[in-house]
Every structure is written in structure tokens, then in C-alpha cells.
Amino acid sequence: MKILAFDSTARAASVAVCEDERLLGLYTIDNGLTQSELLLPMAENLLKSLKLTFDDIGLLCAAVGPGSFTGVRIGVSLVKGIAFGKNIPCVSVSTLDALAENTTPLAGILVPCMDAKRGQVYTAIYKSDGASAKKMTEDMAISIEELADMLKDYSGQNIYICGDGYNVAKSALEKLGIKTANTPTLLITENAYSCAVSALKKYRNNEYLTDTEMSPTYLRLPQAERERLEREKQFKMQGEAK
């Protein structure tokens, strides 16, 4: 079965085509352009280079967050649109699960970290035996200090950080007394291939969706929504004060 996967949750935009677990093509761009301008042309160009069309695809998947609110919405909306138009099943993949999938060959504790702003990281903790990884926590938006406290339970084991928060998280954790191993550069950042591999596992467990069931994962409200709620709160307080 051919899989078309998208990851637009971080800075780079990535599209992959696989035949089950076998990677046929991977297209990644990090040039600062709005990802809404990139993803569909990237998919079309990648399929064309492989002499394939959307009609050849048996499964769609997208990293649905956490991550960039805008990027998450773009990727999910694109997959929903293709799934609706072509009647293709789709799978939602946590961005953190995709990152962990990428680093599963490293036996130890896997800790994907993405910059969540406001002094927090999006993260989860996984334990890998080098062949498969078990998720030990839910996806979280927490401070580095909170993450350090959780990682004390895994002292003495190799701890691997990955994700776009790698440098900041690794440095901050070590200042807090958490020793971490060096993650190979090629395994630090996520891409659509690891998203596809994660999606295939879920599909084989019958964890697939229709286009109407797919939705983004936000561990925190988008800034615009937070600002709207704050304005409503202030307006209500002003009304009560009169």
C-alpha cells in the first residue's frame, strides 16, 4: 500500500511517499515560505517524480501536533481535502510520536522536545529497546524544570533529546543536573517518513479515520484564541464593575 505523508508542524515542511515501510521519496523544504504555499506543490512534484498520482495512494497521514498552530492547521486541512476528494482513509499522528519513531533505533529514553514558547516545551517520554518504543507519558506542554523532575526517574539510562527544541532543552536539562546523550544529527528533526511509519502501525491496528474525523491536536489554545478569551474576560470584569 502506498502512503502519502505530510509534516508541517515545525519550521520545515516535509512530504513522503512510502510503499508500506519502504521509503520511495522524501521532499523537505526549509526556506521560510508560508507552508500553505508549499505542501500541495511538494506533494504533486514528488508524486510526479515517482510516476504516481493521488489515485495510487491507499493511505494519507499527517502530523497533527503539537507544534506550530498554523502549520498544524495547514497539514490537517490539506489531508482532509485530499481524503474527501479521493475517498482515501487517513491517519492522525502525534508529532511527538513521529519524532520518537525517528529515534527508536537508539536504545534508551527518548524525549522529543518542541519549542512551545512561553517558557515551555511540547514533550513526551518514551522508552526504546532499539527496535520499538513504548510511550511512558501523554503529550505534554510543560516547563524544562518540570521535565527535569520527571527525567530524574530515568537517571543512569541513556537519555536522548530530539526535535526542534534539541539545543535549548539539552543545555537547560544539563544545567539542572540531567545528563543527556548526544543524538545523531540525522535523527534530531522529524520528517514525513517517520510520520508515515507511525501511521502504518496505527492503520494495521484499525486506527484510521475519515476526513471528517481528522482534527488538529493543540495542547494549548492558539494565541488568537487566548487573546479573545482575555478580551472577553476583561469586558465582563468592566461590566461587573459598573
Give residue-wise pLDDT tens across range 55-106: 999 999 999 999 988 999 999 999 999 999 999 999 999 999 999 999 999 9
pLDDT score of 110: 98
pLDDT band for 31, please (50, 70, 90 cuts).
Answer: confident
Q: What does the domain layout of the chain look like in residue ranges? A: 2-94+191-224, 96-187
pLDDT score of 16: 99
One-letter amino acid for residue 227 of the chain: E
pLDDT for 233 beyond 50: no
Q: Do 211 and 90 touch, CB atoms closer than 8 A?
A: yes
Cα-based distances in Å from 17 to 42, 138, 180, 242: 11, 28, 33, 61
What b/e string do you get for 118-131 counting C-beta neighbours within 10 Å, with b at 16 or more? eebbbbbbbbbeee
Instruction: Tell me the pLDDT tens digit for each residue of 137-149.
Output: 999 999 999 999 9
Give the CATH H-level superfamily of domain 2-94+191-224.
ATPase, nucleotide binding domain (3.30.420.40)
Same fold, 2-94+191-224 and 96-187: yes
Q: What is the DSSP string of 179-220?
A: --BPPPGGGTS--HHHHHHHHHHHHHTT--B-TTT-----SS
Cα-based distances in Å from 61 to 96, 114, 124, 156, 207: 15, 20, 21, 36, 12
pLDDT band for 227, please (50, 70, 90 cuts).
Answer: very low
The top-level CATH class assigned to 96-187 is: alpha beta
Lowest-pLDDT choice from 67-81, 150-164, 207-221 = 207-221
More confident residue, 127 or 231: 127
pLDDT score of 229: 41
More confident residue, 221 or 169: 169
- For the question of whether the overall pTM of this predicted structure is more than 0.85, the answer is yes
